[in-house]
Amino acid sequence: MVNTQKLNKLSSVKTFITAALVAVVVCLFSPVPAFADDFDMDRSQIGFASVSDFASGLSGTYKNVFLKLAEKVNIANNKKSELKRRQDELQLLRVGFNSVKANSGVSAQAFLGLSGTDDDDMEAAVIGKALVFPNPFRQNSETGAELGYRLSKDMDLEVHIYNMFSQRILKRTFNSGVVGARKGYNKLNINQDTLDGEILSAGVYFYLLIHNGEVLSRGKMAVKP
Amino acid sequence: MLRQGLLVLIGCFILSTAVAAQEVGLAYYAPEVGSSARSIRLGNIEGFSNLANTVFENPAGLYRIRKASVSAFTTEFMDEVGYTNFSVAMRLPVGMLGAGVMATGVDDIPETFLREDGEFDVSGYFNYKNYVGKLAYQYSVSRYMHVGAAYTYYLTRFHEVEGKGQNLDLGFIIDSDALDFSFTVKNVLRSQYVTYSDSSETPEGYEGSDAEYSSDGVQEQLPLQTVYALRYTMRHFQLFGQLKTVGKERQFVRSFGLNYNPAFLPFFHLSGGYKQFALTRSEEGETNTDINSSYTMGLGLDLFGLSFDYAFEKSEHIEFENKHYFSLGISF
């Protein structure tokens, strides 16, 4: 009887911890661009570090509780069924979170105080300078060069290149989220294939990064023969 | 006279149709911008300038200068690319002699390096300079027929790259009272190339080979152009028409111009023009060489041998929608 009461108490503690763990898991995996390979270092590193620490601590606590549980109620023998039950709980909690988000607009990130990472609130911008490496470079080669720039968030983006006569020689549109228009650092290749084998004259060329008709960044590159 | 003229025409035609034996890129050729605001406001019509800048258009046109002339031209594109030219011409006992330099410059181009985190950063800045020099000679076969030739020297420098080349322009003009005809072949020597030297080292992190990075020994060809232009004078109006072959594929582009010189303001000129140009452009991954067009307009003032010209042209640049050109000339 005493064991059953203890088990019930521990079970409710476990349920709470499981809920928190699920929140962390949702936070880690649902905002893909925020924690994908190319995220905003300044903000996301802080966010990731906090969440990571929190998760580590939680994991340790959970482990201790679980071990105590195992000792007291001797559930070692039916571990598999316990795990299965825990998975069901996780699934239910996930559904619960999604439901809350759908009804109230509060996401798991907001619930954990990370609402600032929501991309919709961010201004579309190129962070720092858009640069070509190497500069100068040979366009008439397989390697060519790369145009690198950091975007504040996923956004539709146009890249224009002009020659020294102010004539546009290239226009390329990238839809939000694809390579070239993703949050974080993007690299675009400029080589002999860029103009289908057409060789650019040696000289200086000017590129613009444009979002919704607004020039976010500009730069110049020198092409060697 | 007719036979001499035909011989010149046939000679120019043979030279201009010779196909280059080597497949190389075309060099950037600054005079394509235009040699004066007057020429540009007429739709880039070439060969009918009364000033020294004709050394960039048709060297045979130097016959219009009585004793001497000085001309200067400037414009800037995109707040980045500066164009200037300066030319002089003088009548000598053996004929007319002219010289001119056209310079193009872009400053503060960032040199970059690859950071450890894989992003790019600036390590310094360098400038780009390009010069096209012309040395022209003109001889009048008769009162109506004039021929000329211009030696072209080409020099370009940026970073640790230097390109040098030379070529020749030939010009021919028939001048009658109402109708003038100008014919020019530019960069007629197809065996001549702009040859580059490159002493720069392959930057760290560059994924290609040294040979792929260096442009040492690489050649470009100055673009061969043939220009046929007509001018018809009708009271206070002058009508211009021009056919020009440009680019590797020798496409024909047309230009038309109209100049109005009112009787009550004999020093004032008002002009408009239409011009075509060939451009290789990649739009959303598809690359084509098409004929594009634009309109130009402007005005000119001729006072006591001093000429001032202004030209305006729309630009397709998203930030700099207008191009402005100014030129100044003295002739005596």
pLDDT in tens, B96-115: 999 999 999 999 999 999 99
Residue B165: predicted pLDDT: 97
The answer to whether B193 and B165 are in contact (CB under 8 A) is: yes
Q: Residue B187: list chain A partners with CB under 8 A.
A: none
Q: Under an 8 A CB cutoff, do A202 and B161 touch?
A: yes
Q: How close A50 gets to chain B, by Cα (Å)?
A: 22
What percentage of chain B exceeds 70 in pLDDT? 93
Residue A27: predicted pLDDT: 44
Q: Residue A132: list chain B partners with CB under 8 A.
A: 112, 120
Q: Residue A193: list chain B partners with CB under 8 A.
A: none
Q: Show the domain range for B35.
A: 2-175+182-223+299-331
| The amino acid at B265 | L
Q: Residue B320: list chain A partners with CB under 8 A.
A: 166
Residue B276 in any domain: the answer is no
B58, B225, B36: which is closest to B148 by C-alpha?
A: B58
Which of B106, B119, B318 is nearest residue A204 as measured by Cβ atoms? B106
pLDDT in tens, B254-283: 999 999 999 999 999 999 999 999 999 999
Residue B270 in any domain: the answer is no
Q: Show the domain range for A6.
A: 2-118
Q: Return the residue in A160, A168, A209, A215 with the most chain B beta carbons within 10 A, the one to mutate for interface testing.
A: A168
**In whole numbers, what is the pLDDT of chain B averaged over residues?**
92
Band of residue B62 on the pLDDT scale cut at 50, 70, 90? very high
Q: Residue B207: list chain A partners with CB under 8 A.
A: 143
Query: Of the residues A84, A101, A118, which one is the last residue of a structural domain?
Result: A118
Q: How close B213 gets to chain A, by Cα (Å)?
A: 6
Q: How close A173 gets to chain B, by Cα (Å)?
A: 6
Residue A1: predicted pLDDT: 45
Query: Of the residues A76, A99, A118, which one is the last residue of a structural domain?
Result: A118
- Long-range contact pairs involving A122-127 (C-beta distance under 8 Å, separation at least 24): A122/A152, A122/A153, A123/A152, A124/A151, A124/A152, A124/A153, A124/A155, A124/A211, A124/A212, A124/A214, A124/A216, A125/A151, A125/A152, A125/A216, A126/A150, A126/A151, A126/A152, A126/A209, A126/A216, A126/A217, A127/A40, A127/A151, A127/A152
Q: How close A150 gets to chain B, by Cα (Å)?
A: 9
Task: Say whether both A159 and A57 belong to one domain.
Answer: no
pLDDT in tens, A8-18: 555 555 655 66
Look at chain B and report how many structural domains it folds into: 1
**In whole numbers, what is the pLDDT of chain A averaged over residues?**
71
Residues in chain B: 332
Residue B12: predicted pLDDT: 54
Beta bridge mates, A87? none
Cα A160 to Cα A219: distance, rounded to the nearest angstrom: 11
Cα B298 to Cα B42: distance, rounded to the nearest angstrom: 8
Task: Say whether both A209 and A173 belong to one domain.
Answer: yes
- A204: domain CATH number is 2.60.40.1930
The answer to whether A159 and A178 are in contact (CB under 8 A) is: no
A175, A174, A224, A176: which is closest to A203 by C-alpha?
A: A224
pLDDT in tens, A182-215: 999 999 999 999 999 899 999 999 999 999 999 9
What percentage of chain A exceeds 70 in pLDDT? 48
pLDDT of B166 higher than 80: yes
Q: Return the residue in A127, A129, A141, A167 with the most chain B beta carbons within 10 A, the one to mutate for interface testing.
A: A167
Which of B122, B128, B282 is nearest residue A222 as measured by Cβ atoms? B128
pTM of the model: 0.77
The answer to whether A174 and A159 are in contact (CB under 8 A) is: yes
pLDDT of B77 higher than 60: yes
Task: Say whether both A136 and A216 belong to one domain.
Answer: yes
Mean pLDDT of B16-32: 71
Q: Residue B77: list chain A partners with CB under 8 A.
A: 164-166
The answer to whether A175 and A187 are in contact (CB under 8 A) is: no
pLDDT of A60 higher than 60: no
Q: Residue B116: list chain A partners with CB under 8 A.
A: none
Q: How close A133 gets to chain B, by Cα (Å)?
A: 6
Which of B218, B292, B317 is nearest residue A162 as measured by Cβ atoms? B317
Which of A134, A150, A169 is nearest residue B203 as measured by Cβ atoms? A134
Mean pLDDT of B281-288: 94
Task: Say whether both A113 and A11 belong to one domain.
Answer: yes
Band of residue B332 on the pLDDT scale cut at 50, 70, 90? confident
Mean pLDDT of A143-165: 96
The answer to whether A160 and B252 are in contact (CB under 8 A) is: no
Task: Say whether both A97 and A142 belong to one domain.
Answer: no
Q: Under an 8 A CB cutoff, do A225 and B218 touch?
A: yes
Look at chain A and report how many structural domains it folds into: 2
Residue A47: predicted pLDDT: 44
Band of residue B309 on the pLDDT scale cut at 50, 70, 90? very high
Contacts of B187 (CB under 8 A, 6+ apart): B29, B152, B167, B168, B169, B221, B222, B223, B224, B225
Which of A144, A167, A220 is nearest residue B80 as measured by Cβ atoms? A220
Residue A2: predicted pLDDT: 46
Q: Under an 8 A CB cutoff, do B161 and A136 touch?
A: yes
Which of A131, A144, A165 is nearest residue B120 as measured by Cβ atoms? A131
pLDDT in tens, B212-258: 899 999 999 999 999 999 999 999 999 999 999 988 888 999 999 99
Task: Say whether both A188 and A204 belong to one domain.
Answer: yes
Band of residue B25 on the pLDDT scale cut at 50, 70, 90? confident
Residue of B nearest to A150 (CA): B119
Beta bridge mates, A187? A148
Residue B5: predicted pLDDT: 55
Which of A131, A166, A171 is nearest residue B122 as measured by Cβ atoms? A131
